Structure 1
Amino acid sequence: MARVPLPTRDEFPESHRDAYDRMVRERGDPTPHVFLALANMPNLLDALLTFTREMRHGAVLDARYRELGIMMTAHVARSAYEFEHHWNHAVRAGVRREQLEALDHFETSPLFDVRERAVLRYAAEATSAIEVTDATWSGLTDAFTVREAMDLVMAVAWYNAVARINGPLRIANEPWFRRV
């Protein structure tokens, strides 16, 4: 059970109800627990929705690579909630299930190509060590434009933040959630 309330619309401050309604509209009804937990900061909810929407819809990096990076971030950070939820996003973006099951062996697995390995190496290293080696950065920027690499940098950074929100708050999967 989450350590913070997951507010309903009626419990949400009236002065910020537009943001709550936007959250439900953009994130679904029922709304994922992570967003309900973040709604405990009503003054930041609208800005967080704008930020996360722009990260998804304003990105130039192909969603498949972004989701691979997010999955590796969740895996290394041991964020079960994000790993489960982004499994579905990754599959919908074109990542193969076999790849998701082989994340521990991405460096040697024939399931991954050079670009996918560059994404996974960056996400793993940035999550576990924060700094990345010159070789890892060069591998990423050899495989992607600087703009694409920056999309990955932001996605990995954000999902590291989300892991550090979900863990302490004990955000759990919703009763309705199912992995595809």
Structure 2
Amino acid sequence: MARIPYVSRETIPDGRVDLYDRLIAERGANPEHIFLALANAPSLTEAVLGMATALRKQTSFPRVFRELAVVMVGVLTNATYEVDHHWNAALSAGVRREQLENLQDFEKSEHFTAEERAVVRLAKEATLEGHVSDSTWAATTFLGQQQRLELLVTIAWYNCVVRILLPLQIEKESWFVRQ
């Protein structure tokens, strides 16, 4: 059970039905539990929505790389909620199931290109160490400066997300099915 209630349109603090309606508009008819928990702090939720939307819709690097990196963050932090949600997003983005199933062995697996390995390695090092080696950073030059920055901010963001999910014990939604 989550450690904080999930809000509804009727229970959102400060009568912020406008924020609840924004959640529906941006996240769909069934917003994820993380957003419904965060909505207990409306101002923070607005900021979170801004960042989440920008990272999902306004970055220029390939979605395949984003989803590989995000699932890796979830795997490394043992954040099942994140892994499952982004597993589906990864498949939708074109990540192959074999890649997801072999993510922990990405360095040796034949299912990854050199570019995909570089992205996953960046996610791994940034998540576990907080910094990345010069060789790992250099291996991502194929992305260019802006895209590497977008990727790094995405990795950092999802490290933040899992550090909200885990302490709050956010549960998967009853409607959610991992593919």
Please state which band the TM-score falls in when normalised by the shorter chain.
over 0.9
In the alignment, what sits opposite 1:119? 119
Residue 41 of structure 1 aligns to which amino acid in structure 2?
A
* Structure 1 Cα separation of the partners of residues 15 and 178 of structure 2: 36
Identity value in percent: 44
Deviations 1:17-47 (A, max 9, x none): 2111101121122211011111111122222
Cross-structure match for 2:164: 165
Partner letter of residue 175 of structure 2? W
- The answer to whether 1:84 aligns with 2:112 is no
Aligned mates of 1:43, 1:106 — CA distance in 2: 39
Report the TM-score when normalising by structure 1. 0.96
Letter in 2 for 1:157: A
Using CA pairs under 8 Å that are at least 6 residues apart, name the structure with larger relative contact order, 1 or 2: 1
- Alignment coverage as a number of residue pairs: 179
Paired position in structure 2 for 1:100? 100
2:44 is aligned with 1:56: no
Q: Does 1:134 align with 2:134?
A: yes
**Structure 1: which amino acid aligns with 2:156?**
A
TM-score relative to the length of structure 2 = 0.96
The Cα of 1:120 is off from its aligned counterpart by 0.4
* Residue 149 of structure 2 is aligned to residue 150 of structure 1: yes
Aligned residue in 2 for 1:3:
3
Alignment root-mean-square deviation, CA: 1.0
Residue 81 of structure 1 deviates from its aligned partner by 0.4
Distance 1:25 1:69 in 2: 26
| Alpha-carbon distance in 1 for matches of 2:17, 2:48 | 15
**Does residue 109 in structure 1 map to residue 109 in structure 2?**
yes
Residue identity opposite 2:44 in structure 1:
L
**Helix, strand or coil for the counterpart of 1:177?**
coil
SS of 2:112 mapped into structure 1: coil
Distance (whole Å) between structure 2 residues aligned to residue 15 and residue 51 of structure 1: 23
Q: Which residue of 1 aligns with 2:71?
A: 71
User: Following the alignment from structure 1 to structure 2, what is the Cα–Cα distance between the partners of residues 48 and 16?
Assistant: 16
Q: Secondary structure at the match of 1:124?
A: helix
- Gap regions ≥5 residues in structure 1: none
Task: Provide the residue aligned with 1:21 in structure 2.
Answer: 21
SS of the aligned residue for 2:107 comes to coil
Deviation at 1:16, TM superposition (A): 2.4
**Deviation readout 1:53-80 (Å, 9 max, x if unpaired):** 1111110011111111101111111111
* Cα contact 1:4–1:37 (8 A) shared by 2: yes
Contact residue 125 and residue 131 of structure 1 kept, 8 A:
yes
Runs of 4+ off more than 3 Å? none
Q: Residue 16 of structure 1 contacts residue 43 of structure 1 at CA under 8 Å; is this kept in 2?
A: no
What is the CA-CA distance between 1:14 and the residue it aligns to?
4.6
Matching residue's letter, 1:106 = F
